């Protein structure tokens, strides 16, 4: 395994995984989906984060003949039974409208007292090989939801999730602080032994 492809067009994700692999002493050529522009985006039809991550990783591994990593993540709110979950990016009905998603969720939780505003970010990261071999690892960042957004770093629901042990929201942390505790960072770090095992 010399080259690894990450199912994203987000340069920040590629940088984050590259740094984690490099810190672990894994010298791999990591590229994003942009390196293969002819490959269509994969529909996320799974009902769990793990299923969606596997769908994307397998599709990319098949299309490129390379080992592929994909992740899927979202916000899970205790009082909503784990929703928005896999629907986090399209909670308001429009995919990727962070502000509308955030405003809808805050409105839905308007009457919920502080002690019942527990929530967590979840991330599943999958590694798939062209031969069908697969592994999935997960990461989780527990916290509570604020009543109003705070902070300008990050994206999505970062301005309202205050991690356990923190007085700031995820959007008030520096990128380095957030990466150190984030659900995606945890999942990507958990991938290291999997990559090492499968890379031989």
User: pLDDT digit of tens for each residue in the chain (200 aa)?
Assistant: 689 999 998 888 898 899 899 999 998 899 999 999 888 888 899 999 999 999 999 999 999 999 999 999 999 999 999 999 999 999 999 888 999 999 999 999 999 999 999 999 999 999 999 999 999 999 999 999 999 999 999 889 999 999 999 999 999 999 889 989 999 999 999 999 999 988 65
Sequence length of the chain is 200
d(CA 138, CA 71): 9
Domain 3-199, CATH 3.90.950.10 — does that match?
yes
Q: Which residues are annotated as a binding site for substrate?
A: 8-13, 73, 155-158, 178, 183-184
d(CA 175, CA 157): 15
Domain ranges, ordered by start, for the chain: 3-199
d(CA 164, CA 88): 21
Q: Which residues are annotated as a binding site?
A: 8-13, 72-73, 155-158, 178, 183-184
Angle formed at CA 174 by CA 192 and CA 50, multiple of 5 degrees? 40
Residues assigned a catalytic role = 72
**In DSSP terms, which residues pair with 143 in a beta bridge?**
119, 163
């Amino acid at each position: 395994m010399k080259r690894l492809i990450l199912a994203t067009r987000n340069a920040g994700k590629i940088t984050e995984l590259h740094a984690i692999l490099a810190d672990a002493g894994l010298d791999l050529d990591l590229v994003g989906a942009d390196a293969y522009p002819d490959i269509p985006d994969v529909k996320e039809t799974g009902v769990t984060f793990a299923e969606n991550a596997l769908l994307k990783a397998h599709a990319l591994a098949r299309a490129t003949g390379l080992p592929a990593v994909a992740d899927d993540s979202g916000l899970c709110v205790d009082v909503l039974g784990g929703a928005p979950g896999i629907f986090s990016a399209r909670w308001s009905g429009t995919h990727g409208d962070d502000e509308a998603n955030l405003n809808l969720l805050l409105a839905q939780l308007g009457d919920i007292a502080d002690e019942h505003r527990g929530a967590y970010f979840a991330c599943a990261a999958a590694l798939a090989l062209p031969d069908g071999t697969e592994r999935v690892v997960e990461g989780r960042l527990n916290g509570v939801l604020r009543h109003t957004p705070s902070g300008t770093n990050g994206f999505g629901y970062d301005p309202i999730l205050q991690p356990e042990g923190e007085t700031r929201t995820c959007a008030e942390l520096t990128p380095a602080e957030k990466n150190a505790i984030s659900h995606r960072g945890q999942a990507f770090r958990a991938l290291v032994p999997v990559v090492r095992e499968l890379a031989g």
